[in-house]
Amino acid sequence: MLRLHGVHAYYGDSHILQGVDLVVGEGEVVALLGRNGMGKTTTISAIVGLVPPRRGSVRFGSEELVGRSPYEIARLGIGLVPQGRRLFPELTVRENLTLAMRSSGDGDGWVLDRIHEMFPILEMRSQVPAGRLSGGEQQMAAIARALLTNPRLVLLDEPSEGLAPIIVEQIGEIVSSLRDRGLSVLLVEQHLPMALAVADRCAIMSKGVIVYEGTAAELAADDDARARHLGV
């Protein structure tokens, strides 16, 4: 479904991604782990074209994404849930979601009714400015917004950041339910227990390259890899 091969990306002269190889299979949840500043968000940005790779390839199905605009990439079926949610705080929940539906074009797929079924709280809060929602509600709205673009692959960048443990658990359940609905997921996550609980496979990034890959069960059993690459 998604295949990064030898991806290099820069901010100006800073060479951040130094040959990233990563695969997300059809219907698979892959967790991308690693300490702060290692290049996880940059990897997501490289996939969606916000930080265009200078070398390497990003294949999505049969399409090459390198060289395409973020808009085109979204239209091909990749939904982004950015780090920090990035909702419009003064707009209502409904307005935030409606904007996503407009930009996605067609009305089928994830219509608002289905979103409200999955996230009843968002229907209850539909007239509330997004900035007034709790962190967990904002995260749900950000996920809903991505789903309304009708993606086949969802990229989530640290969805549990700043949330209470009980809410982190809920976010984990939501990620699992995306897989149950046939979506593929790339999950950047600092919360290791959640990542291990929901991911099929894990990749660990350090200094702009993938330094470990294994199933969630393998990483859970590998004390040495966790200590070396994650410090836990």
For residue 185, with 0-12 CB atoms within 10 Å meaning exposed, 13-18 middle and 19 or more buried, which class applies? Answer: buried
How far is 46 from 21, CA to CA, in rounded Å? 12
Pick the piece of the chain touching ligand ADP (CB under 6 A) from 29-37, 67-75, 107-115, 161-169.
29-37
Question: Which of residues 6, 11, 72, 221 is near ligand ADP by CB under 6 A?
Answer: 11
Report in angstroms how near the CB of residue 43 gets to ligand ADP at its nearest: 7
The Cα 193–Cα 206 span in angstroms is: 19
Which range touches Mg ion (CB under 5 A), out of 62-70, 83-91, 133-141, 168-176?
Answer: 83-91
Candidates 9-17, 138-146, 192-200, 212-220: pick the segment binding ligand ADP (CB under 6 A): 9-17
Q: Could you tell me which residues are beta bridge partners of residue 22? A: 4
Interaction partner, residue 127 (ligand ADP, Mg ion, none; CB < 5-8 Å by kind): none
101 neighbors 114 (Cβ within 8 angstroms): no
- Measured from the CB atom, the residue of 18 and 98 that comes closer to ligand ADP is 18
User: What pairing do the DSSP bridges indicate for beta strands 55-60 and 2-11?
Assistant: antiparallel
**Closest to 232 measured CA to CA, from 209, 202, 208:** 202
Q: Which amino acid is at 184?
A: S
Give the nearest distance from C-beta 156 to ligand ADP in angstroms. 12
**36 forms part of the interface with ligand ADP (CB under 6 A):** yes
With binding defined as CB under 6 A, does residue 13 bind ligand ADP?
no
Helix residue spans in the chain (DSSP H): 40-48, 70-75, 93-104, 112-118, 120-124, 135-147, 165-180, 192-198, 216-221, 223-230
The reply to whether 41 sits near Mg ion by the rule CB under 5 A is yes
Of 15, 25, 26, 37, the one binding ligand ADP (CB under 6 A) is 37
β-bridge mates for residue 188, sequence order: 32, 157
Near ligand ADP by CB under 6 A: residue from 24, 41, 47, 104: 41
Of the candidate residues 34, 79, 82, 151, the single one contacting ligand ADP (CB under 6 A): 34
Residues that bind Mg ion (CB under 5 A): 40-41, 83
Q: Which residues bind ligand ADP (CB under 6 A)?
A: 11, 14, 16, 34, 36-42
